[in-house]
Structure 1
Amino acid sequence: MTVTELSLSGVLLIEPDVYRDGRGYFMETWNRQTYAEHGLDVDFVQDNLSFSKHGVLRGLHFQNPYPQGKLVSVLRGEVFDVAVDLRANSDTFGSWEGVTLSANNGRQLYVPEGFAHGFVVTSADALFHYKCTNAYHPEAEGIVRWDDPEIDITWPVSDPVLSDRDAAAPRLREIDAFQTSMV
């Protein structure tokens, strides 16, 4: 397994060992001891699965209080996955990191607590899996506009399919400072 810390502190790109042969492949997607040895010593309390069609963009979502760290991966298809730093007093507040995750490349991204998270489907469809360090708390959920010009994410789509809620999301500067001041 290869673990690379990306440009935003705490955001990890994980490339598990994949064992391929004529039958297909095998890979370990979570092992507490192995991941802890590679710097990811967290407790996951909830797993989620979503299915989306091409061009669907979900995000940028966060929780505060009760922030969630997420270990995300794609079981079918491909997505462009994004983490946005919302940590109070962080030198990289409002900065983003994006990577392509797919069933073929087997990559995982760890998005730590204190970040907003989103993804867009770049294949025909995608089955997206994520493990969370905190349970879902609807009263704590926040959202940042996917195309906020101050964050300036370079999405691989120009006209994504959005939920009504995501389409109406506020820009980061329009969100109460308490709501986004995390960890």
Structure 2
Amino acid sequence: MKNTFCDASMYPEFAKKVKECRKKLKLTQGEIANKIGCSRQMYNRLEQGYPPIMQYADKLAEILGEEIFSVFSFDVRKYSKERILIYAVIFGVSYEEIAKVIDSTAQYTQAYLEKNTSGYLLQYRSGWDRLFPHMEMIQSARRIGKNSIEVVVDGTRYVLVNQIKTASRERDSIWNLIGKIKQPEDLEKSEELYS
């Protein structure tokens, strides 16, 4: 399967863009790291051209501007692991189905998606489009607090909770559907994720 995500040669270009935007705003690496919630060392690696830390993509865009993603061929945030896991729950897509698309095993795919690692399955963009053909039915998705998300699909509101299990140093991120309500209601303290 063709890798439609940027190859490693794009990371230095992304790093350069991030660094330019940070300097334009007269912010230090430490200040950006604090704002996005990672260590200065991890942020420094990003500016050195190592693979981007996509779990911080939305926060980086808020601080540095959407232009930092202009080097990529598509919106990398649209295919974040969090979103893939949420869609899999809502549309009833199994790890086995995802594994077939990316030519992997269900066990590896599940372990990969549930671990908070910085590697990606994002390169299989065309695969996600096949797995989730009804993505256009998603009207909005927004975070409710820290560990839950509300997604409105074709007039139905789905509420999902992220149950994070910690074993030694590893964290498993598991999204569970806890509610399905026909007419969405306004919720306080929610922030738009994707719309």
Compute the TM-score of the two structures, normalised by the length of structure 2: 0.26
The structure with the greater share of residues assigned to helix is 2
The structure with the greater share of residues assigned to strand is 1
The structure with the larger Rg is 2
Compute the TM-score of the two structures, normalised by the length of structure 1: 0.27
